Structure 1
């Protein structure tokens, strides 16, 4: 399949507009904190949310509004998670959708809502409501960049992507934006991601495609092992590409799934790359596992290990920490069959063979580990399954950022 990367971000698909402004939730007036995504026509819609038992108020409202698998707009704020605020939080999340619906002249039930920021602080709904008319007025095809900026918290860069594919002779476009830097281990961190597309597809298959691709993208990222209360992944499809409706699992459906997976994996890796204080993107690829589930558990155990993460930060080829992390993952494997490699753009080096040390060149290992993207490849030699997960190193700055997050 030919996937073409294009400009435009979340507004690249036909019929989608976006905006982002500063309303006053963040102390820094140079940082936008309120975003809006809008489709000119109603959409099929679906969402995947955090597995944390403690959930932000916006999740409950968005789930309620998605009961008919339809939506037309999404309003997002940063600077406050609106979580652990009881009925007050639920009421304010609802008010965000009511005010947005009024400004757009659409049904309240067609507005979804998401929030990110500090937990346990009452949301200042008055300043949000007072700025929603301006937010709606600012909607445009050029608004993707502002919207992407407005959902950021400790992120150091915007995360956007738009792609084009061809289905039944029609150009189909997918756009996306995401945010996430800390409190990241989505198990559908604060991880928010939004996908727009003009594909014509049934609500049921849209939901299935989103769930399937989230499993192999956002759910395979971990920055610090903390599953946030507000993790949200939403998709809206308005059908304006005018391809024949996809209502069966035919070739067109699988083409769309492949494109959606490509989009989600790309942005999931960007979240890992932008982990709080991170200097390196880490991929752990488990090869030769007896099942996909076992491979995932082993891979996550490695990228979540503080000792592995700090070793990568320090460019230390300490493969023993990898074996240790594999060993406490509570997965049955034979340590005496394990091979470990470190790889990057600078090359590849075997550092552990059959569970034991090998006489490798430390200088070559150091050169490999100095790169910004590091692959830890683990061969189990037990089966046919393989899984990759993505994380980042653990630096001094992670502690600095999270030690005074509220201030």
Structure 2
């Protein structure tokens, strides 16, 4: 599916850009045997230690690799390398699983010749199984072989039920220097962030202290990754990591820097792009759905209402069937728990008004069906209660989603 994205005028998209587009990064991936045929072991590395920031799943069953990675970041808020396997999540695996995650980090750091706390680990896949550490050992021995190099191999190695790789890079000018931000992500099912079943890795050559990087990431995550849903389930594993190695040699960024907003908007654009790519690639999805809520009492209220609409299985199935059943949208707004005045609510499907101030608005059913058959569907709710605005992204819910998840383990 294709969609047109509007970029801030100060940003340039790097054609074929990836996590290795910023200065000083390299990446790779290979098949180590966890999965039958597909690449299942990937990594990326910075030439120098980088400021690091992360956000992590809110699921109480937090997987072993997340615990180890958070420990690495907490040491001095820096990372230099990240390794990730797909196929097995190393979640709900007890003390042995935690030890395996530590061993994975130790092996990775030794192979690269970096300090152990500068390495991070990630895993994604089936919950409740131990990692085949002999295969992990074998993969580590091949990391430095150039034939496994390339960002496209990394992007492929981290996928599970995804149908395609997800990568991007943008450039902007700060202090007269070219600053690049790149990213890669995986995510297809069990997506309902705060955080959720997704991994997203972002690299930049910007010079920015970790405390400012961390605050920017947290703010932006609430407007991007935390505003997508596929199926309402939150995973045990997943996270967003950002590394900033400073090789662009700009002056250190902070909210007081005159071009702080340049960097902030660039990072936001990359995160939002990856979030939408994850929503678009939802398991069995045939449409990307964008929900915009305006006129709420606050932005936070608008975000909650937008998330309520995009999370509704009844809305998602109606979109899949190209059924302009606006009653399902009204219902999702009503049970969001946010204050609204039902007599002020208007609903649009694209440009087609279907509800005006709480009552049906005449519309052409065939025209609405034709619109809902498109690959990109927009729902707009105008509440008339204030200036709050929120946007959420998701996908339709199809028969294929049920087929994929009915046999995920077998």
Q: TM-score, normalised by structure 1?
A: 0.96
Q: Aligned equivalents of 1:240 and 1:133: distance in 2?
A: 28
Quote the residue 2:21 is aligned against. Answer: 12
Superposition pairs for residues 49-60 of structure 1, below 5 Å?
Answer: 49-60=56-67
Quote the residue 1:97 is aligned against. Answer: 105
Moved over 3 A (4+): none
Q: CA deviation at 1:97?
A: 0.7
Q: Aligned equivalents of 2:332 and 2:254: distance in 1?
A: 44
Q: Aligned equivalents of 2:272 and 2:383: distance in 1?
A: 24
Are the counterparts in 1 of residues 19 and 169 from structure 2 also a CA contact under 8 Å? yes
Q: Which range is displaced more, 142-151 or 69-78? A: 142-151
Q: Are 1:368 and 2:371 counterparts?
A: yes
Q: Are 1:286 and 2:289 counterparts?
A: no
Quote the residue 2:394 is aligned against. Answer: 391
- Residue by residue, what CA displacement relative to the aligned partner does 1:101-121 show, whole Å, maximum 9, x if unpaired? 110011110001111001011
Quote the residue 1:118 is aligned against. Answer: 126
Quote the residue 1:127 is aligned against. Answer: 135
Quote the residue 2:240 is aligned against. Answer: 233
Are the counterparts in 1 of residues 188 and 230 from structure 2 also a CA contact under 8 Å? yes
Q: CA deviation at 1:391?
A: 0.5
Q: Are 1:24 and 2:33 counterparts?
A: yes
Q: Aligned equivalents of 1:58 and 1:64: distance in 2?
A: 10
Quote the residue 1:168 is aligned against. Answer: 175
Q: CA deviation at 1:330?
A: 1.2
Q: Which range is displaced more, 172-181 or 117-126? A: 117-126
Quote the residue 2:77 is aligned against. Answer: 69
1:11 counterpart SS class: coil
Q: Aligned equivalents of 1:8 and 1:351: distance in 2?
A: 40
Please provide the CA RMSD for this pair.
1.2
Are the counterparts in 2 of residues 18 and 139 from structure 1 also a CA contact under 8 Å? no
Is there any run of 5+ residues in structure 2 with no aligned partner, and where? 1-8
Q: CA deviation at 1:291?
A: 1.1
Quote the residue 2:218 is aligned against. Answer: 211
Q: Aligned equivalents of 1:8 and 1:134: distance in 2?
A: 25
Are the counterparts in 2 of residues 182 and 189 from structure 1 also a CA contact under 8 Å? no
